[in-house]
């Protein structure tokens, strides 16, 4: 919301006039006070698609880890019985995926670092160490002087250092990404992935959600009803990520219940190597096939258990473009592998080879660098023999035939490649092929969209496919065509429901309603949301985001009473979700329910004192109450975190001008004019300052 109506301006003036014992001041009509309505964005990872059956195989008895009583016990509980695997795994890339930040735990160089510059917002970022503690300083220089400085201590390092070390800080359990990353292969510092593009510097505000944590770490203790709050997080991906929760397994072994695994399967724990090929592949695809993820059946990203069909939990969508064969993202290994003749042939009915999975080549317990020779041997299981009998399978490279080339098979047939989502890295392309067969391929226009591929279930329900388009729109692009496609598929799902309502269960009807509201919200069609919510018998789906979106629809027409009702329900379902709390506080302020607003904002800022939008909005609420000192303190605290936040700058400038401190207000207004040259109100403010000070 960029302006307030006249009644609000009058109310603020009254607050100034009646506040005692403070000096009476009058607000200039051309300086308006701002409530900051925060933008919401969803973030995610990115990915790919093997075209294999997703139908459940015969699993035998259910695994104990699927039980609701099964709990995660941590990697140390595995160590006493599985010491060799433990010792190898903690050295592996997965075992080193997440750790406490300390100089001795970092792969990065911490001496004499050249500051990183973000041209988008004219900020520098300086990583540095003090003893074992790691920090990042954000600052801005104007004519050689530092005009802004913010320091955050790094709490966690993400990434094994094989490709990167990224960095996380936590504020009272709320997790955010630090703007800098160490790129190990080039031994250089750079802005973090997704921060380096012109308009994409999230600074210190990029949330680490349960979806991020689900694949970059072991099973955390996530705070339900939050966006990015965690009570506890493990230190690295651990055994239970692939084997499932181990509490029942540990209890059985401690009770002396031992299964002879040479004769039968021990169903107290999942052994991926004993699963069907489809389910074994699912274990790896859960994190190595990323994109626009749609979770089914009310599941969250943390709910899936190894051994269960992944398609029943999650589908992943990603666009196909003309050159998708050579342009791909990092976490798309199964998609790349599925394009290989080796993979396709092994999955053919009647194939002499076992169906190829990730475990065909990889030992997940060991560091990658220790398994390269084993990978070479795996290739030679098929690609060896006498030339006259299997000539088509023999390598014809002259130096290999002559025995002078000792390079691994993968170095030629799985070449190193960059990725389209993470800069400065080189990864093994899992599309196994003879490179010359693609060398003459013409690189086509990557902006032309062909289709949205579905990777886990290639034939999803129309509503699920629509959700894939909506998620892709939110997380990766704002191209309106994505919303148009989502509307088409939702229409198909709605037609099927209308033709045969008895064939669709109530939960699916709820999901369809939630998807329509999500579409209209993203398209800015608030009227459609309001019409639906006002229909006789309407019941909102039981999720916080839908209630929030309905609240937004009423806030758009200043129907504060209805907006508050829906925001309150969103907060009830998501009590630790800071953005929902902020919107509720804004609506209460607008409805002049100031004491209630004060309680909400105090709760929000107490939960996270670095949440800048809440600080600014609490400052405005203080101003309406007539507490100028508290308002000024909140605006200054906001700007110490985010110096370019327009509303906070305008609010502080207004206070300074109206309390006779025009000299202090001048640089703020000058900055506002620089940032927003077409705003006539800021130019009027500068004229007022010049008049008061007698200077141009």
Mean pLDDT along residues 77-92: 94
pTM of the predicted protein model: 0.88
pLDDT for 233: 97
| Cα separations in angstroms, 600 against 321, 568, 594 | 46, 10, 10
Q: Identify the weakest region by mean pLDDT among 311-325, 614-628, 659-673.
A: 311-325
Of 117, 33, 10, 26, give the one whose Cα is nearest residue 646: 33
pLDDT tens, position by position, 144-161: 999 999 999 999 999 999
Q: What's the Rg (C-alpha) of the chain?
A: 29
CA distance 592 to 586: 10
**Which of 5, 24, 17, 51 lies closest to 659 in space, CA to CA?**
24
Q: How confident is the model at residue 18 (pLDDT cuts 50, 70, 90)?
A: very low
Question: 583 versus 435: which is more confidently predicted?
Answer: 583
490 phi and psi angles, rounded to 5 deg: -65, -35
Instruction: Render pLDDT for 90-134 as a digit per residue (tens, 0 to 9).
Output: 999 999 999 999 999 999 999 999 999 998 889 999 999 999 999
Q: In whole angstroms, what separates CA 577 from the centre of its chain?
A: 15
List pLDDT tens digits, range 202-231: 899 999 999 999 999 999 999 999 999 999
Bridge-partner residues for 480, per DSSP? Answer: none
Structure tokens belonging to residue 66 = 């699927």
End-to-end CA distance of the chain: 32
Mean pLDDT of the region 182-202: 86
Q: What is the pLDDT of residue 377?
A: 81
Distance (Å, whole) CA 320 – CA 452: 6
pLDDT at 304 over 70: yes
Q: Which comes out higher in pLDDT, residue 200 or 161? A: 161
Distance CA 571, CA 583 (A): 10
Continuous segment of H or E residues that includes residue 216: helix 210-216
- Tell me what the mean pLDDT of segment 606-613 comes to: 97
Percent of the chain exceeding pLDDT 70 equals 86
pLDDT above 70: residue 450: no
Looking at residues 597-602, what average pLDDT do you find?
Answer: 97
Per-residue pLDDT reduced to its tens digit, 486-525:
999 999 999 999 999 888 888 999 999 999 999 999 999 9
**pLDDT tops 90 at residue 421:** no
Rounded alpha-carbon distances, angstroms, from residue 185 to 144, 304, 359, 420, 546:
34, 33, 26, 16, 43
What is the predicted pLDDT for the residue at 273? 92
- Residues in Cβ contact with 135 at an 8 Å cutoff, skipping those fewer than 6 apart: 127, 128, 129, 151, 152, 153, 154
Q: Which of 40-49, 326-335, 570-579, 648-657 has the lowest mean pLDDT?
A: 40-49
Mean pLDDT of the chain: 86
Q: Parallel, antiparallel, or unpaired for β 133-142 and 416-417?
A: unpaired
Q: pLDDT: is 300 or 34 the higher one?
A: 300
Say if residue 39's pLDDT is above 80.
no
Give me the pLDDT at residue 13, please: 32
C-beta separation of 165 from 96 below 8 A: no
Confidence of residue 398 (pLDDT cuts 50, 70, 90): confident
Alpha-carbon distance values, 275 to 360, 361, 362, 396, 615 (Å): 13, 16, 16, 36, 52
Provide the pLDDT confidence category of residue 386 given band limits of 50, 70 and 90: very low
The pLDDT of residue 504: 84
Q: Report pLDDT for 198.
A: 60
């Amino acid at each position: 919301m960029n302006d307030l109506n006249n009644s609000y301006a009058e109310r603020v003036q009254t607050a100034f006039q009646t506040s005692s014992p403070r000096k009476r001041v009058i607000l200039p009509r051309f300086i308006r006070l701002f409530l900051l309505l925060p933008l919401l964005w969803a973030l995610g990872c990115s990915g790919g698609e093997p075209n294999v059956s997703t139908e459940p195989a015969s699993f035998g008895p259910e695994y104990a880890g699927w039980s609701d009583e099964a709990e995660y016990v941590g990697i140390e509980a595995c160590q006493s019985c599985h010491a060799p695997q433990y010792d190898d795994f903690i050295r592996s890339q997965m075992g080193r995926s997440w750790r406490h930040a300390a100089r001795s735990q970092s792969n990065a160089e911490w001496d004499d670092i050249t500051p990183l510059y973000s041209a988008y917002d004219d900020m520098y970022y300086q990583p540095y160490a003090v003893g074992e503690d790691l920090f990042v300083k954000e600052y801005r220089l104007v004519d050689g002087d530092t005009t802004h400085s913010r320091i955050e201590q790094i709490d966690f390092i993400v990434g094994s250092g094989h490709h990167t070390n990224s960095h996380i800080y936590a504020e009272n359990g709320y997790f955010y990404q630090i703007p800098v990353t160490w790129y190990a292969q080039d031994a250089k510092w750079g802005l973090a992935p997704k921060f380096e593009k012109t308009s994409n510097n999230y600074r210190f505000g990029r949330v680490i959600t349960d979806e991020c944590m689900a694949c970059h770490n072991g099973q955390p203790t996530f705070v339900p009803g939050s966006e990015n709050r965690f009570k506890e997080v493990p230190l690295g991906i651990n055994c239970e990520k692939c084997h499932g929760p181990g509490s029942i397994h540990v209890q059985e072994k401690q009770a002396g219940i031992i299964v002879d695994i040479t004769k039968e399967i021990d169903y107290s724990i999942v052994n991926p190597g004993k699963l069907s090929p489809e389910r074994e592949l699912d274990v790896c695809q859960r994190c190595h096939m990323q994109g626009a993820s749609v979770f089914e059946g009310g599941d969250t990203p943390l709910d899936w258990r190894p051994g269960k069909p992944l398609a029943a939990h999650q589908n992943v969508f990603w666009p196909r473009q003309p050159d998708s064969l050579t342009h791909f993202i990092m976490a798309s290994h199964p998609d790349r592998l599925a394009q290989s003749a080796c993979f396709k042939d092994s999955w053919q009915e009647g194939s002499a080879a076992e169906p190829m999975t990730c475990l065909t080549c990889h030992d997940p317990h060991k560091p990658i660098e220790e398994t390269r020779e084993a990978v070479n041997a795996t290739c030679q299981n098929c690609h060896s023999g006498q030339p006259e009998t299997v000539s088509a399978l023999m390598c014809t490279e002259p130096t290999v035939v002559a025995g002078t080339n000792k390079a691994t098979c993968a170095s030629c047939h799985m070449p190193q490649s960059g990725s389209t989502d993470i800069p400065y890295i080189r990864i093994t392309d899992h599309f196994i092929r003879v490179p010359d067969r693609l060398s003459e391929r013409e690189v086509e226009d990557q902006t032309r969209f062909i289709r949205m591929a579905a990777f886990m279930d290639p034939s999803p329900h129309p509503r699920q496919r629509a959700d894939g388009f909506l998620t892709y729109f939110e997380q990766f692009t704002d191209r309106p065509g994505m919303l148009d496609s989502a509307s088409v598929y939702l229409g198909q799902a709605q037609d099927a429901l209308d033709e045969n309502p008895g064939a669709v269960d109530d939960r699916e009807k709820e999901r369809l309603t939630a998807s329509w509201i999500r579409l209209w919200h993203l398209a800015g069609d608030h009227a459609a949301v309001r019409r639906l919510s006002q229909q006789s018998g309407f019941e909102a789906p039981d999720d916080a985001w839908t209630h929030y979106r309905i609240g937004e629809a009423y806030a758009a027409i200043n129907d504060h009473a209805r907006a508050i009702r829906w925001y309150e329900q969103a907060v009830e379902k998501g009590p630790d979700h800071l953005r929902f709390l902020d919107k509720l506080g804004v609506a209460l302020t607008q409805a002049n329910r100031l004491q209630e607003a004060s309680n909400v904002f105090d709760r929000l800022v107490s939960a996270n004192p670095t949440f800048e939008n809440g600080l600014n909005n609490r400052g405005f609420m203080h101003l309406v109450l007539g507490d100028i000192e508290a308002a000024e303190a909140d605006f200054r605290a906001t700007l110490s975190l985010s110096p370019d936040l327009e509303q906070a700058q305008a609010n502080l400038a207004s206070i300074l001008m109206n309390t006779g401190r025009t000299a202090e207000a001048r640089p703020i207004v000058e900055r506002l004019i620089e940032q927003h040259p077409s705003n006539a109100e800021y130019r009027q403010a500068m004229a007022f300052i010049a008049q008061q000070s007698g200077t141009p």
